[in-house]
Every structure is written in structure tokens, then in C-alpha cells.
Structure 1
Amino acid sequence: MKKWKLASVLLVLILMLAACGSNEEANTEKTDDTNAAADQKETAQEEQTTSAYPLTVSPTVASSDSMDGSASYTYEDVTFETMPEKIVVFDYGFLDTLDALGVEGIIGVAKDSTLPAHLEKYSGDEYVSIGNLKEPLLEDIAEIGPDVIFISGRQSAFLDQLKEITPNVVFVGTSQDDYWNTFLASVDIAAKMFNKEAEAEDYLAKFDTALDEVKTLAGNFDTSLVTMYNEGKLSGFATNSRFGYMYDVYGFTPVTEDIEASSHGSNFGFEAILDLDPQVLFVIDRTAATGGESNIKADMENDIIKKTQAYENNRIVYLDGPLWYLSGGGLQSELAKIEEILAELKS
């Protein structure tokens, strides 16, 4: 009897050990499968990134002229063998887009100009100052050895000197004549170069709802005028200007088309605004954008402007200067512009 009980106990122990062995083997196989899946996913991501290169990148515009018309600049396609790892960015709009997409590797920023509030983190010591928007620090840029330099119109005069540092200089600025499409082209450049196409698509989807909303709101007004304030003086903008997207894309109706096309707008007196008498008057504060002391409300709300429909109906919209004048052309800033108008005109 005792022998039978001993045999039973031994049999149970053998079965338990066999089960444990099977479980350990199964867990090992499961762990191996999980690790293999993770490795495959990582490999697939690396292959996806690598497969995009060599990559030829076209500028957002083929050429541009200096503000005074005395010089013209031509921008060329740039072919990259591998994804750039050390990035220098002058254009705040493009910096905005890189930031929104989570691109890593930014080492140099134009910190000596007024960074927009939402890009203040790039004023930190971990980012090298490459000068301001109009005057690059060429020696400092050369010292950090960038793989790519992204520029826009304000740096065009230094194009050849920047190319001596690296041939990989890409123009990513917007065009006055086709602002919205060149903005979208710059987003496409960032997405393709840094394997962020899915992130860009997700972010651009936010614009669909915002644009529908602002177009509906714009339909409530018969006329509007976009102006820019600078130290007591005004300039106006029509559809063929750097702020023409306010009409073409947002859907506001211009109070006049008879405004000379210019990057800084046509000179515009207060009397001219009263004559046109727009229902909505947008005012961009350039003085604040460039670090000056702004008296925009005191200067704007004078006895002449107080006679306009815009003033009487509380429809003078003061737009954030740094956002509109310096940092447009980025995913975050372009969405913020729409949201600012919605907030102002809904109130």
C-alpha cells in the first residue's frame, strides 16, 4: 500500500514538472515571438526611412527678387543621399512645422530675432544662434557643420555664402503670389525628408474643420480689409499680396482690389479706410513683431477710424504681430491664425 502511494506521488510530481517545462517553453516562444515582431517593426521603419533616400528636394519657389527689386535669386533642387541629422533653420514657419512634426536634429536657429512665443524653447542654450533673420552668422554656422540649411526670402542675399558651408541649402519660404500652396509645399518637404508623412496628414486634417468654420464666419460680412500697422503708419493688402489668403482661402470679401501688390503693402491713410468703410478691419502689428513699442490702439482708434462700420460694430481685429508678420508658414502658426480670427469675430 505504501509503495502504491509513493508511486502515485512520484507520478504527480513527474506530471507537474512536465507541465512547468511546457509552460516555460511556451513563454519562451511567446517572448521570442514578441521580440521578433518588435525587431521586424523596427526594421520596417528603418527600411521605410532609408528607402526614401537618395531624395531630391525641390524648393517651394524657383526664384525670387529682393525687396527693392535690385537683385534676383534662383533656388535649385537638392539631392540628399541620407536623411540630414544636423539641421539649421532660419525660417520660423519651417521651424514651426518641424517642431509640430516632432523632427529631431535641429541644432541652429535664428535666435537673434524675435522668436514667436510658441517657439521660445529654441532660445535655449542647446541650440546654436545662427544670427537673425537678415544677418546670418556665417562662421558660427560653418563651425557646427550642418547637413542642411533651410532658408526663406530674408536670407536670399546670403545664398551663395551659405552654399559654401554646405551645398544642401533648401528654400522653404512662402510666395506672395501663391502663399497657401507654397506653405503646403513646405510641409510636404518636411514630411518627406524626415519620414513624417503620417504626422503631417494628421495635422493637416485639423485645417479642414477650421477652414470650414472661418469661411462660414466670413460669409457674415460683405467687406473686409487687411492692414498692417508700423509705428503710426498703415499699409493695405488686397488679394494679390502676402496676406491675400485672408480673402482667397479664408473667404473674406475684399473691400477693394485697387491696392498695389507689395510684400509690405501699399501705403494707406486713415482717410482711405474711411472712404472704403469695410465692415471688418484686420490690423497686423508689425511694430510689436519687430520689438518696438507699439501704440496701435491709440493710433488706430482716432476720430477718423471711429466713423467706420468696423469701429462702430466692434469689428477692428488686432492680430498678433509676431505670429502674422514673422512666424507664418508653419503648421502651428497657420492654424493659430485661423483660430485667432475665429475667437475675435465670434465674441
Structure 2
Amino acid sequence: MRKFLLLFVISILAMVAVACGASESEEESEGTNADLTETVTVNHELGETDVPKNPEKVVVFDFGILDTLDKLEIEVAGIAKSGVIPAYLEKYAGDEYANIGSLKEPDFEKISEIDPDLIIISGRQASLYDQLTELAPTIHLGVDTTNYMDSFKENMAVIGDIYDKQDEIDKEITAIEESIATLNEKASKSGENALIILSNDDKISAYGQNSRFGLIHDVFGIPAVDESIEASTHGMNVTFEYVMEQDPDLLYVVDRTAVVGGESSAEQIVENELVKNTKAYKNDNIVYLNPDFWYLSGGGLVSVAEMVKEIDESLN
């Protein structure tokens, strides 16, 4: 009888141990699943979106954000290849990265096939936001040109939160801000003013404060030769007579033709007989800015740092 009772007690204890083990296993499993479904709530221009932490499959339409992810060594699944890709990001033209269409015409079928964890867009895709959200969590991380640096830093903070990269991003932004402070001091001492133009084949448009390229004035501290230029995405249509009349100390040129598949001829078009009458031409102060950074991929950790560097080098 005692032997029977002993065996019975041992059996009960074994069953309890198994049950406890199963319970612990379930708790561990639940903890793992919780980690996999952890999200970050992102407030952006088009809404509020819950984004999975450290998403594995990400498709990116904005080259500035791609620039940042590349700098941080974060992999992406697909980019908009049906167009010009900045030369310094040319590795993303490779077959290992899916083509999700163009900046204005996403390939919804390809995106659906990828089944991404996150879609990152900016201005050109804003009107398609609702359609894209049906495929995956979608966030808008475009740069507000009227508040460039704050907007840029907010976007970087979002990337930092999603990927636990805030320390690395803070280090990069600190370096950029220190470079801007140095540039501001240099710009103030130079006393030079500037005019920014976009060259598009044989046409030109001017950009002033709070415009697409306005951070040269608003952030970098170089005064605008004409403070009446209306802020707009496409700039103010002007003539070369206008450039001659404004007579800037510095003339900054962004060559659109060079990045949209055409043959670059900005120098031949810009440096004509009218412009040769300006101080900018006479003092060899016509600066052709790198359109990869200024036209295609502004707002990235690399592009913003390079933009600061280009303007700094342009000052005497």
C-alpha cells in the first residue's frame, strides 16, 4: 500500500512539473511573439501610423530616406527604379532590389508581391497614400522646405525610433549642425549674396527663401540677392536678363537636365553674354551644384552633409 501511495505521489508531482513547464513555454512563446509585433506610432504629414519595430521588408520611394538607410546599413527590399537613381546610390539598381515603379507611378502589383512591412513615401506619392496603406503601413517622410532642418531632424528621429539607431543619427546630425554653424560664420564674414537657379534645357527658374533650395539662404546664411522671389516647388520663371539685372555675387545652378536623362549643357546655356556681365561670372563664382544631392535626394544624412560642404567650398 505504501509503495502504491509513493508511486501515486510521484505521478502527481510529474504531472505538475509537466504542466508548469508547458505554461512557462507558452509564456516564453508569447513573449517572443510580443517582440515580433512591437510597434512604433509615427505621426506624419498624412496621419498616424503604427509601424513594426525593425521591419525586415521595406520599400522606399524617397531617395533622401534611402540615402539615410544606406548610411545606417539598413537593408531595403525595393526602390523606385523607373527613373534616375542618384549616382552614389547606384548599387540599388541591382537585381537584388525590387523595382517598385517610378516616383509618380508606383507598381502596386510588385509592391503587393513583396508584401512589405513598411512603405516610406514623400511628396510625389502623397496623393496615393490611401492606396498604399492598403498594402502595408505607410509613412510620409518628406522634407518641409519652409522649415528644413527641423523637418529633416524629425524624419531622422522617426528612422531612429523604428530601427533603434537614434545614437548613430544623433552623432551624424551633431556633425551636420557643427558644419552649418561654421558655414554661417563664413557666410556672414564673406558679405556675398546669391541667386539660385534651376537650369532645364534652355529655360531657367529662380528659387528664393523658403523654397526647394532655399536652405542656402534660410539655413546656411547666404543672403538672397532678390528677396521677392515667390516660394514654389517649380521656382519662378526668369530670363537671363533678370540674372544680369540682379547681378549676384554668387550664382548657384542646379542642372535638372543632367538628372532626367537628357544631355547636360547647363554651362553652355548659363554662361552666355548676358550672364558674363555679372559679378558672379567675373569673379568665377558660378557654382554648379551636384543635382544628385540637390534635386534627387535632399533630406538624407549623406545629402545634407554634402550640401553643406558644397556651399562652404563655394565661399571665398
Paired residues of 2:52 and 2:117 also in contact (CA < 8 A): no
CA distance in structure 2 between the partners assigned to 1:323 and 1:287 by the alignment: 14
Closer/same/farther in 2, CA of residues 80 and 301 from structure 1, 3 Å limit: closer
Q: Which amino acid aligns with 1:143?
A: E
Q: State the 1:51 CA deviation.
A: 11
Which residue is 2:178 aligned to?
Answer: 209
CA distance in structure 2 between the partners assigned to 1:188 and 1:52 by the alignment: 21
User: Which runs of structure 2 are paired with 1:175-214 in the superposition (5 Å)?
Assistant: 175-214=144-183
Paired residues of 1:108 and 1:128 also in contact (CA < 8 A): yes
Q: State the 1:212 CA deviation.
A: 2.4
CA distance in structure 2 between the partners assigned to 1:294 and 1:101 by the alignment: 32
CA distance in structure 2 between the partners assigned to 1:160 and 1:281 by the alignment: 41
Q: State the 1:165 CA deviation.
A: 1.1
Runs of 4+ in 1 over 2 A off after TM superposition: 49-54, 80-83, 341-346
CA distance in structure 2 between the partners assigned to 1:177 and 1:222 by the alignment: 22
Which residue is 1:242 aligned to?
Answer: 212
Q: State the 1:81 CA deviation.
A: 4.9
Asked if 1:160 corresponds to 2:145, the answer is no
Which residue is 2:275 aligned to?
Answer: 305
Q: Secondary structure at the match of 1:77?
A: strand
Runs of at least 5 residues in structure 1 that lack an aligned partner in the other structure:
1-45, 63-74
CA distance in structure 1 between the partners assigned to 2:221 and 2:38 by the alignment: 39
Quick check: which has more Rg, 1 or 2? 1
2:39 to 41, 49, 54: 54
Deviations 1:145-168 (A, max 9, x none): 0011000011122222212212x1
Q: Secondary structure at the match of 1:118?
A: helix
Q: Which amino acid aligns with 1:55?
A: V
Deviations 1:200-255 (A, max 9, x none): 01111221332123223322033111111111111111112111211111010011
Deviations 1:75-122 (A, max 9, x none): 111013543211010000011111112223x10111222111221111
Closer/same/farther in 2, CA of residues 256 and 52 from structure 1, 3 Å limit: farther
Identity of aligned residues (%): 41
RMSD: 2.0
Asked if 1:87 corresponds to 2:77, the answer is no
Q: State the 1:123 CA deviation.
A: 1.1
Q: Secondary structure at the match of 1:58?
A: strand
Paired residues of 1:288 and 1:322 also in contact (CA < 8 A): no
CA distance in structure 2 between the partners assigned to 1:337 and 1:321 by the alignment: 10
Deviations 1:297-321 (A, max 9, x none): 1111111000001000111111112
Which residue is 1:19 aligned to?
Answer: none
Deviations 1:59-78 (A, max 9, x none): 1xx2xxxxxxxxxxxx1110
Q: Structure 1-normalised TM-score?
A: 0.78
Paired residues of 2:195 and 2:248 also in contact (CA < 8 A): yes
Asked if 1:333 corresponds to 2:303, the answer is yes
Paired residues of 2:205 and 2:236 also in contact (CA < 8 A): yes
Q: Which amino acid aligns with 1:242?
A: R
1:218 to 187, 191, 194: 187
Q: State the 1:264 CA deviation.
A: 1.2
Q: Secondary structure at the match of 2:204?
A: strand
Closer/same/farther in 2, CA of residues 303 and 76 from structure 1, 3 Å limit: same
Q: Which moved more, 1:225-234 or 1:212-221?
A: 212-221
CA distance in structure 1 between the partners assigned to 2:66 and 2:261 by the alignment: 20
Q: Secondary structure at the match of 1:340?
A: helix
